[in-house]
Amino acid sequence: MKAARDTFEMNQKSEDCFPVYCSVKEVRAFLLRAMEAVKVDREIAAVACESLLHASIRGTDSHGIRLLPHYVAGVLGGRINPNPKIRFERRAPSCGVLDADDTFGGAAAVAAIDEAIKLASETGTGFVAVKNSSHCGALAPFALRAANQDMVGLAFTHATPKMRSENGVRPFFGTNPLCVAAPMLNEEPFCFDSAPTPFSNNKVKQYREEGRQLPPGVAADRQGVETLDPELAEQLLPIGGYKGIGLSMVVDMFCGLFTGMAMGDEVSTMYGNSMSEKRKLGQFFGAINIEAFEKPEVFKKRIQDLADRMRREPTGETGSDILVPGDPEKRAQKIRMEKGIPLTKKGRDDFYQLAQSLEMEMIRGNDDE
Amino acid sequence: MKAARDTFEMNQKSEDCFPVYCSVKEVRAFLLRAMEAVKVDREIAAVACESLLHASIRGTDSHGIRLLPHYVAGVLGGRINPNPKIRFERRAPSCGVLDADDTFGGAAAVAAIDEAIKLASETGTGFVAVKNSSHCGALAPFALRAANQDMVGLAFTHATPKMRSENGVRPFFGTNPLCVAAPMLNEEPFCFDSAPTPFSNNKVKQYREEGRQLPPGVAADRQGVETLDPELAEQLLPIGGYKGIGLSMVVDMFCGLFTGMAMGDEVSTMYGNSMSEKRKLGQFFGAINIEAFEKPEVFKKRIQDLADRMRREPTGETGSDILVPGDPEKRAQKIRMEKGIPLTKKGRDDFYQLAQSLEMEMIRGNDDE
């Protein structure tokens, strides 16, 4: 405990030393220590931590390592089962259902996409619905597992109802994301991972912290009236009005209906509920074997050509680059694999509190190296 | 020819008599007469016409019977093959590729989704990529065929590059739509059929005709600068910025990469090109057998409950109804099955010209009945 406090206090000396950069190796060790401290099965912990780490490396901080204290609280409260019996049942040659036994969604998701990949190897496509699951973090790591096997990977999850209905005053659907990944010839796979809202809840929080006005079409207040004031923002607006609602409903159909879990406004919320309540979420994963349609080399070359063409398109007044979906994450990954994962002051404080409460060594960070 | 001219001239007397309503039966007969006049295979014609008719009945006029003259021109010019040999090849237990032999996309699409349904009956899921295809109209009729077999139906097509790139100045991707349909307990299936742009090209044209200003976020001018002036609108903007671009790219991956057809900015355009040039489009269809995941009765009851709950949600200031995706189409269908399909003056003029050029009987309309 002494080392932890020292490191933390050192970083407290000045606001300037934030963010603190921590190597991936060091963050991984910290995450695993925390999981071990709350007696999570070693294999489950390894997989769940890798998903958080993956999101942070790719710059998706909202779904990254900052969730560790929330996950630990979930284990301690009884929401998350640290020693699950994950069961997979094949229901048709290309379909199956995986019972997550209320463990980490990220661990269940890896098991599910791996089963989907196996099914797709046999029949061309594989689809696996996950029931009795919990928050699974960003979807990208799961879809990418399929892409790395020369398949198109698909991932869906429903989420806390937070998106205002079109013509309505309150949320009905969650910001239910979908993710599609596919291999490319000369770079990391194409990966489109997106919720049907322009902003995530986390991005609204960021604007709030920075005292910045929100752009139009992003958020609504408690009464459901659109607002530019991040202090008043309590609901998110969908992309394309009813189109975002439709996308969200489709995702919920896969995640709620194919799994027997709740749907729409009945989906459990991430925050605000007791940490002893199981989330009972559903997720849906798919793999499509490229070989069933096209030679993988041809597929990879053609999508690479397409991406290269896109990036060479003439830019508009702002001069901002034209990006292929997933490019910002690839850029973040390149930087963070070298520089490490940044911890904000709040992130560091949260980790320090966690380390204290679990009586384990605090993460150190680059200023000690 | 006399009857045709008489009817038409009668309707020319006053602008007030537009739109003219024509019964579904009468429109169907007119469509089939035109197809017969240009020697389209009888079975192919029946299927292609039914897709146009289906769109018009559901109020999707942009993709409905107004396309008939364009389709006829395609047959006469050589773009569309009126007597195709459609070939299906099963490439894996749950996957196959259908060669449309350059016929009507609507006819190929029906053949493809029906093959996907067969595959899904066997293996739980079925996915069929269509190559050498042409414009297929609205996607809903194809996805709905699966829904009517207690499956979730999926349909995708790429389209004319018309959507401005994010940060760019010109179009790269088409307004590539996706469609998902699923059966419900007490009403027509749920059907979400949507392009990744707030407005269709046709809706922009409608604003132009009515001299109305466009809402923000809908269109850009020739230089790629956003505009509210429908006279200047030449490109469409995506929903959710890069999110709409990502959705479009995913659809293009299924339709262009799985089929060996063109992708992105290389996809052929619907208008402007010679009518002798084949479109060489790709489409992608899927069916997921609900039974592989959930009892169909339970699925249908739960999605019905969800839709009923959505429609009962409190409404906002405008008092507009909260709709389930597909509700506007269901409302249109109810009205049009009784009242008939409306023909605008332009639609009527186009049909009259077509009837004249093909030397066939003109459609009559309700004012003769």
List, for residues A115-132, the tens digit of each pLDDT value.
999 999 999 999 999 999
Answer whether CATH 3.30.1370.60 is correct for domain A87-197+238-293.
yes
> Which single residue is written with the structure tokens 């309503």?
B21
Res A367: pLDDT: 53
Write out the E strands in chain B: 20-22, 87-92, 95-99, 125-133, 151-157, 161-164, 171-174, 178-182, 190-194, 219-220, 226-227, 235-236, 281-289, 341-343
Q: Which two tokens stand for residue B223?
A: 């230089």
- Decide if domain B2-77+340-368 falls under CATH 1.10.3720.10: no
How much is the average pLDDT of B166-184? 96
How much is the pLDDT for B1? 33
Question: CA of A18, closest CA in chain B: separation in Å?
Answer: 30
Return the residue matching tokens 């709030």: A208
Chain B residue nearest residue A290, CA to CA: B258
Q: Is the pLDDT of residue B8 over 80?
A: no
B362–chain A nearest CA distance, Å: 38
A6 has pLDDT over 70: no
Contacts of A225 in chain B (CB under 8 A): 316-317
- What would the mean pLDDT of A221-239 be, rounded to a whole number? 96
Least confident of A312-321, A335-344, B116-125: A312-321
Digit-coded pLDDT (tens) for B313-351: 999 888 899 999 999 999 999 999 999 999 989 899 999
Is the bond preceding residue A19 a cis peptide, omega within 30 degrees? Answer: yes
How far, in Å, CA of A156 to CA of B214, rounded?
A: 34
**pLDDT value for B7:** 36
Across chain B, what does the average pLDDT equal? 93
Is A263 at the interface with chain B, CB within 8 A? Answer: yes
Q: What is the pLDDT of residues B104-136, one digit of tens each?
A: 999 999 999 999 999 999 999 999 999 999 999
Q: For residue A14, what pLDDT band results from cuts at 50, 70 and 90?
A: very low
Q: What length is written for chain A? A: 369
Q: Indicate the residue of B165, B253, B298 with minimum beta-carbon distance to A313.
A: B165
CB contact under 8 A, A294 and B258: yes
Whether residues B260 and A294 touch (CB distance < 8 A) is answered with: yes
For the domain with range B87-197+238-297, which CATH number is right: 3.30.1370.60, 3.30.1300.10, 3.30.465.10, 3.40.50.2000? 3.30.1370.60
Chain B residues with beta carbon closer than 8 angstroms to that of A256: 302
* C-alpha angle A77-A24-A1 in degrees, rounded to nearest 5: 55
A292 vs B contacts (CB less than 8 Å): 91-92, 94-95, 127
Q: Which residues of B touch A91 (CB under 8 A)?
A: 124, 292-293
Q: Is B124 within 8 Å of A124 when comparing Cβ atoms?
A: no
Q: A272 or B135, which is more confident?
A: B135
Nearest chain A residue to B260, by CA: A294
Tokens 């000690």 found at:
A368
Structural domain spans, chain A:
2-77+340-368, 87-197+238-293, 303-327
DSSP symbol at B315: B
How many CB pairs below 8 Å do chains A and B form together? 232
DSSP secondary structure letter of residue A192:
E
Contact B168 A247 (CB under 8 A): no
The verdict on a CB contact (< 8 Å) between A192 and B249 is: yes
For chain A, give the longest Cα–Cα distance. Answer: 60
Which of B 316-345 lie inside 8 A of A, CB atoms? 316-318, 320-325
Q: pLDDT value at position A366?
A: 64
Do A273 and A135 contact (CB within 8 A), yes or no?
Answer: no
Phi first, then psi: what are they for B179, rounded to 5°?
A: -140, 135
The dihedral region occupied by B193, where left means phi > 0, alpha psi between -120 and 50, and beta the remainder, is beta
Give the count of beta carbons closer than 10 Å to the beta carbon of residue A139: 31
Q: Is A1 on the interface with B (CB under 8 A)?
A: no
By the 10 Å C-beta count (0-12 exposed, 13-18 middle, 19+ buried), A79 is classed as: buried
H helices, E strands: number in chain A: 11, 14
Q: Do A324 and B249 touch (CB under 8 A)?
A: yes
Of the candidates B242, B257, B316, the beta carbon closest to that of A303 is on B257
| pLDDT greater than 70 at residue B9 | no
In this predicted model, what pLDDT tens digit does every residue of B212-256 receive, in sequence order? Answer: 999 999 999 999 999 999 999 999 999 999 999 999 999 999 999
Contact (CB<8Å) A167/B318: yes
CA distance A342 to chain B (A): 26
Task: Provide the pLDDT for residue A197.
Answer: 97
Distances in Å between the Cα of A87 and the Cα atoms of A98, A100, A115, A132 are 6, 7, 11, 11
* Chain A nearest CA to B222, separation (Å): 12
Q: Which among B95, B124, B314 has the least Cβ separation from residue A92?
A: B124
Is B316–A168 a contact, with Cβ atoms under 8 angstroms apart? Answer: yes
At B258-292, the pLDDT tens digits run: 999 999 999 999 988 899 999 999 999 999 999 99
Q: Does the distance separating the beta carbons of B217 and A246 come in below 8 Å? A: no
Chain A positions in Cβ-Cβ contact with residue B190 (cut-off 8 Å): 249, 253
CB atoms < 10 A from the CB of B311, how many?
A: 12
Does any CB of chain A come closer than 8 Å to the CB of residue B4? Answer: no
Give tens-digit pLDDT for B33-83.
999 999 999 999 999 999 999 999 999 998 999 999 999 999 999 999 999
> Residues B26, B64: contact at Cβ < 8 Å?
no
Q: Looking at residue A1, what is its pLDDT? A: 33
ipTM of the complex: 0.93
